[in-house]
Amino acid sequence: MLKHDWQTQLKRAISNPIELWNELQLDPQTLPSAWRVADNFALRVPRGFVERMEKGNPNDPLLLQILPQAHELIAYPGYSSDPLNEKQSNLIPGLLHKYHGRVLITLSGACAVHCRYCFRRHFPYEQNTPGRAGWGRIFDYLKANSSINEVILSGGDPLMIKDEALMGFVSNVQAILTIKRLRIHTRLPIVIPERITAELVNLLSRTRLQTTVVIHCNHPNEINQAVIDALDSLRRSKVSLLNQSVLLKNVNDDSKTLIDLSERLFDAGVLPYYLHLLDHVTGAAHFEVSEQKAQWFLAEMIKHLPGYLVPKFVREIPGALSKTPLSIDPAACAAGSDLITQ
């Protein structure tokens, strides 16, 4: 079990662009624009994650995920602050009810790392982080809606709250007998693996709920030995481990990287689950990968991997009853191949 204090890792996270630039030996001429961008959406990255980046490489795929860039200040048609129209599903503070049979709860509005492509980077967390005082309304909603059988903890990152608070929340949820499953969406096992404490593992192993932890990992370089150890601890608590990624330009938009990611994840006991096409959130247009390219990547993964290692390529469409899977169009794949070659 990892022995370091995860809260200390949080406190030591880098939030000053100058510190990040010095640490990674980046070109100081790009600093002024980073400061301007960080005023709109702050820089935050744990030091352990920075240590996995290549010094002196401004195109490092881990760096690009968290690097404030001038592109974020450009307005693009079709991009908005609420690309999935989540306000419509935000029925009570801290709860989103978009799909049949399951609800999403924002236990925390905070994250250990600020990913620049985050579709909730403009989400009104100040009205949607109810804390213990507001949990009662959530539990009442779950009791009143017997069709709900799965609770998804998200955010922000739900593992930003302490184990004691998480235990209290889960205890109340499992007391509602119509709830069968618990799902936790988190990036913390990747960016601060120390977060997987003995107390957390004990909590997840003892609940009656069928529990799935969905991690968020976009590139094989994110997985080091500390991450593998943390995931092994979770796996021994008998939870299911899945991964969801986002297809990001200049980060993982090539078939070899995506294939390597699936292999690395499975070696660590994690099943690839979703590969999301980018949600059109304001400030993230520079990460967009065309659907034609995505179809070609999907075809290449199907060609080189067993089916269980090929994640579902999906796009989330506001108002749809579920995520929309990407199908393979031979003509689009051919066009995508041409684009890759170019």
Binding residue positions: 111, 115, 118
* Signed CA dihedral, 85, 90, 94, 96: sign only: negative
Q: Which residues are annotated as a binding site for [4Fe-4S] cluster?
A: 111, 115, 118
Give Rg (Cα) of the chain: 20
Q: Please tell me the distance from the alpha carbon of residue 116 to that of residue 281, in angstroms, as a whole number.
A: 10
- Both tokens of 115, joined, read 């990913």
- Are 184 and 156 in contact, with CB atoms under 8 Å apart? no
CA angle, residues 59, 81, 36, in degrees to nearest 5? 50
Q: Among 310, 214, 222, 229, which Cα is nearest to 270's?
A: 214
Provide the 10 A C-beta neighbour count for residue 330: 9
- Tell me the sheet residues that pair with 15: none
- Counting DSSP H helices and E strands in the chain, the numbers are 13, 9
Query: Secondary structure of 269-285 in the HEC alphabet?
Result: CCEEEEEECCCCECCCH
- Are 188 and 225 in contact, with CB atoms under 8 Å apart? no
Identify the helix (H) or strand (E) that includes residue 185. Answer: strand 181-186
- Both tokens of 222, joined, read 């994110």
- Name the H helices within 250-314: 255-267, 291-304
CA angle, residues 125, 126, 127, in degrees to nearest 5? 85
Beta strands in 115-166 (DSSP E): 150-155
CB-facing half-sphere around the CA of 96: CA atoms within 13 A: 24
The set of residues, in sequence order, having a beta carbon less than 8 Å from that of 269 and lying 6+ positions away, is 231, 232, 235, 241
